[in-house]
Amino acid sequence: MTFDFTNKNVLITGGSRGIGSVAAKLFADAGANVIITYNANKKAAEDTIASLGAGDHSFYQLDVADAIAIEHFFDEFSKKYDRLDILVNNAAAHLEHKILETRFDTWRQNWEQTLQTNLMGPANMCYFAAKIMVKQQAGKIINVSSRGAFRGEPDNPAYGASKAGVNSMSQSLALVLAPHNISVHIIAPGFVSTEMATDKLSGPNGEAIKSQSPFGRVAKPEEVATLIAVYASEGLEFASAGIVDINGASYLRS
């Protein structure tokens, strides 16, 4: 599949590893200027940027759970870049908090951290991105959701709730931003074979996780990144507000 993002400025949160890093490489290979954010692993961000080749690429430390930090980030972004063509909200937290086994203080903290990172973070990123995109009367926002928004997350209920919130927020924003030629798309992966998933996939429950899909495996980061690039491409604006599953038929809805 061939993409052309020549001279497009693409901002990816959580772009230092996993889906974000693979998406950064895909966009860069297609001619984009790629800007990634990372939370803690500076070395991974440096390595990702170094792998992108030619282009006006850059990376920034950013905790998307911190609203003030997001505001400051966009101040810095606007000093270097005069456009934002594509925003990919990919950064997320996945913290276990089983209701029958977790202390209340941990339960509360994990809910707050998850919602701040997974819902308020994308919401605030969308806020500042929309200000830029409205001025240029063009833009694409791709929000990474999850099948957990639909099937439930019994061990991580805040994660499922946060992703359901991302779906609803994205559809609301799609209505407001469409008159400004800005489309909002939602990608909902199932389990993906990222670095963070290595322990689970190689552990005692690994085969059971893979068997959730009739393909007998989980998604590759490249498959999710490709779908992100598809919806970031020109010509699919009318798909705005749609939620696209990529879970290998491990969860079906209609």
What is the arrangement of strands in the sheet containing 58-61, beginning at the earlier edge strand? 58-61, 33-38, 9-12, 86-89, 139-144, 182-189, 243-246
pLDDT at position 219: 98
| pLDDT, tens only, 150-178 | 999 999 999 999 999 999 999 999 999 99
| pLDDT, tens only, 74-111 | 999 999 999 999 999 999 999 999 999 999 999 999 99
- Contact by Cβ (8 Å): 142, 188: no
Q: Evaluate if residue 198 carries a pLDDT over 90.
A: no
The secondary structure of 122-165 as a DSSP string is HHHHHHHHHHHHHHHT-EEEEEE--THHHH--TT-HHHHHHHHH
**pLDDT bucket at 199, cuts 50 / 70 / 90:** confident
> 């491990």: which residue's tokens?
250
Q: Evaluate if residue 195 carries a pLDDT over 90.
A: no
pTM higher than 0.75:
yes
Rounded Cα distance between 152 and 91, Å, is: 20
**pLDDT bucket at 68, cuts 50 / 70 / 90:** very high
- Contact by Cβ (8 Å): 24, 15: yes
> 């991105």: which residue's tokens?
129
Q: Evaluate if residue 26 carries a pLDDT over 90.
A: yes
pLDDT at position 197: 84
Question: Looking at the annotation, which residues are catalytic?
Answer: 159
Q: Which of 123, 51, 40, 131 is nearest to 89 (CA)?
A: 123
- Contact by Cβ (8 Å): 62, 70: yes
| pLDDT, tens only, 55-66 | 999 999 999 999
What is the separation, in whole angstroms, between the first and last Cα of the chain? Answer: 28
What is the token pair recorded at 140?
Answer: 């694409």
Q: Evaluate if residue 48 carries a pLDDT over 90.
A: yes
Task: Report the 3 state secondary structure along 209-246.
Answer: HHCCCCCCCCECHHHHHHHHHHHHCCCCHHHCCCEEEE
pLDDT at position 196: 78
Q: Evaluate if residue 29 carries a pLDDT over 90.
A: yes
The secondary structure of 51-113 as a DSSP string is TS-SS--EEEE--TT-HHHHHHHHHHHHHH-S---EEEE---------TTTS-HHHHHHHHHH
The whole-chain average pLDDT of the chain stands at 97
